[in-house]
């Protein structure tokens, strides 16, 4: 295997799966993965509406106090499909982009009822737009029931709207603030608290219907704050369309392109994004009107992106890479992958805060965190003791497997120890 091939599988993918065929042309292999719709969408999954019905049922059952939990059942079924896809997908670059964007627009189980809709959120708001326009993704995200619930917009009311004034309900700025700060322009754009408040007023009425059919996103005209709003120097009339217009403007803002370019380069190139690389991606986003496919392709063409093993794998990346490399028969696979992820510090879909999981080594390389990786690798190596660590190392890492690691593996006193040395080696921690 050539270094460039190994690197493409590891840097841009999820790690090689067993002895899967190697791409002849790594660059072309990456580009091909961005063609056509996401194959994960071919697998049927629960929709946001299914999730909202589960929430409705769950709320009713809570009153009846029986042991059923429709949200948990739905979540577990979706989670199983998601994990299976991570471990088996043959478009791993696209999947990395899905993970990246889902983390950029974090919806977390820290808000419990979001379990009902978070996988639908990824299917409906993220996957269709990973190779499309950022403006379309932003709009899909901001109107998705999962996000409207996670960041409280579903219960935000214009204080002077008919509902707000009648029921003495008011504004919740959460979604508007995070949209500006995290999802789009960032504080670097110079917005003020007044802009946040006005933006929140623009978004009033963007809500969810749960209690009666049809469930789903709903625009509640009677919750919209009356009158014109001024956001970042521009004026927006009352009504649902203003929110759409404003989000579109934010999505195309130069500060947004700067933000996205920096995060993409941090994710795929280096914890300290090189300025030249950021500018390159920024320029692609600006000239293409926020074309995410063009940006992803441009990342793969950055010379800086081909310096091997500069990034530390996050716990979940690490677990997925190990499970793909040591491609165990079904009856030997760890039964509870999400449990492993939680054990190593990155429970699925459960980022602590709306800014998502960190994307720098310093956040993941805690001392106990690293020892837990070693201990897990050792435990897992016990399952894989019938497999040849040498061969797995060569298949998974190719020329990136270091002589030092190989020497220690050959000196190991048991196959299990050799497998542990491989899976816990410095090169296996990195991508």
Partner 1 sequence: MSHPSMRLTRRQALLGLATSFTLGRASLALAAAPTDRRFVVVILRGALDGLSAVVPYGDKALDLLRPGLLMAQPGAEGGLLDLGGFYGLHPALSGLHAMYRANELLPVHAVAGPYRIRSHFEAQDYLEYGADHAMSSGWLNRVASLMPQTKGATDTAFSVGSVVPLLLRGPQPVGSWLPKTFAQPEPDLYARLAALHRADPITGPAIAEGLKERGFSAATLAGSDEPANRYAFQALCSSAGKLLAAKDGPRLAALEIGGWDTHAGQKNRLAGPLKQLDDGMVALKAALADEWGKTVVLVMTEFGRTVRGNGTGGTDHGTGSVAFVLGGSVTGGRVQANWPGLSSGNLFENRDLQPTADLRALTKGLLAQHFRLDPAALAHVFPDSERTTALPGLLRA
What residues make contact with partner 1 under the rule CB under 8 A? 312, 332, 361-362, 365-372, 374-376, 378-379, 382-383, 385-386, 388-389, 404-405, 408, 411-418, 420-421, 424-426, 429
Instruction: For the CB of residue 256, give the shortest distance to partner 1 in the complex, in Å.
Output: 30
Query: Closest CB to partner 1 among 213 and 331?
Result: 331
Task: Give me 248's structure tokens.
Answer: 């579109």
How near is the Cβ of 342 to partner 1 at its closest, in Å?
A: 13
Pairwise CA distance, residues 215 & 221, whole Å: 16
Q: Which is nearer to partner 1, 214 or 413 (CB)?
A: 413
CB-nearer residue toward partner 1: 118 or 323? 323
Give SS3 for 340.
helix
Strand partners, 209: 216
Query: How many helices (H) does the chain have, and how many strands (E)?
Result: 23, 4
Per the CB < 8 A criterion, the answer to whether 120 and 146 are in contact is yes
Nearest residue to 260 (alpha-carbon basis) of 312, 183, 314: 183
Pick the closer one to partner 1 by CB: 166 or 332: 332
Burial 333-352 (b: 16+ CB within 10 A, else e): eeeebbebbeebbbbbbbbe
| Nearest distance in Å: CB 8, partner 1 | 22
Closer residue to partner 1 (CB): 4 or 372: 372
Output the six-digit token pair for 77: 């079924």
Quick one: tokens of 429? 């921690």
Q: How far is the CB of 375 from partner 1 (least distance, A)?
A: 5
Are 324 and 17 spatial neighbours (Cβ–Cβ below 8 Å)? Answer: yes
Closest to partner 1 by CB, 193 vs 367, is 367
For the bound state, the minimum distance from the C-beta of residue 382 to partner 1, rounded and expressed in Å, comes to 4
| Cβ 80 to partner 1 shortest distance, Å | 21
């Amino acid at each position: 295997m050539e270094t460039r091939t190994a690197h493409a599988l590891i840097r841009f993918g999820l790690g090689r799966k067993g002895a899967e065929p190697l791409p002849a042309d790594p660059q072309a292999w990456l580009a091909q993965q961005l063609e056509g719709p996401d194959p994960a969408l071919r697998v049927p999954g629960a929709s946001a509406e299914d999730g909202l019905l589960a929430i409705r049922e769950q709320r009713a059952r809570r009153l009846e106090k029986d042991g059923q939990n429709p949200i948990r059942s739905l979540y577990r079924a979706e989670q199983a499909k998601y994990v299976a896809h991570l471990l088996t997908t043959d478009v791993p670059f696209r999947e990395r982009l899905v993970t990246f964007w889902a983390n950029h627009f974090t919806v977390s189980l820290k808000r419990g009822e979001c379990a009902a809709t978070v996988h639908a959120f990824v299917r409906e708001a993220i996957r269709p737009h990973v190779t499309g326009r950022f403006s379309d993704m932003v709009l899909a995200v901001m109107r998705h029931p999962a996000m409207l619930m996670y960041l409280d917009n579903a219960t935000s009311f214009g204080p002077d709207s008919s509902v707000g004034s009648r029921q003495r309900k008011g504004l919740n700025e959460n979604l508007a603030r995070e949209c500006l700060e995290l999802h789009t322009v960032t504080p670097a754009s110079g917005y003020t608290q007044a802009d946040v408040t006005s933006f929140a007023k623009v978004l009033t009425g963007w809500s969810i219907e749960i209690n009666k059919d049809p469930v789903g996103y709903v625009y509640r005209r009677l919750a919209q704050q009356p009158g014109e709003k001024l956001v970042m120097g521009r004026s927006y009339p009352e009504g649902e369309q203003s929110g759409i217009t404003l989000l579109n403007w934010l999505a195309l803002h130069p500060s947004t392109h700067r933000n996205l370019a920096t995060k993409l380069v941090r994710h795929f190139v280096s914890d300290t994004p090189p300025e030249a690389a950021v500018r390159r991606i920024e320029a692609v986003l600006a000239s293409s009107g926020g074309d995410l496919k063009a940006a992803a392709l441009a990342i793969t063409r950055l010379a800086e992106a081909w310096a091997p093993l500069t990034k530390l794998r996050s716990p979940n990346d690490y677990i997925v890479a190990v499970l793909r490399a040591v491609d165990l028969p079904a009856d030997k696979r760890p039964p509870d992958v999400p449990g492993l992820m939680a054990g190593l510090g990155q429970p699925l879909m459960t980022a602590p805060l709306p800014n998502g999981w960190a994307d720098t080594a310093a956040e993941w390389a805690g001392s106990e965190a690293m020892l837990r990786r070693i201990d897990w690798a050792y435990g897992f190596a016990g399952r894989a003791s019938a497999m040849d660590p040498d061969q797995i190392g060569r298949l998974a890492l190719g020329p990136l497997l270091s002589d030092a690691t190989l020497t220690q593996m050959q000196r190991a006193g048991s196959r299990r120890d050799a497998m542990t040395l491989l899976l816990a080696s410095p090169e296996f921690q990195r991508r």
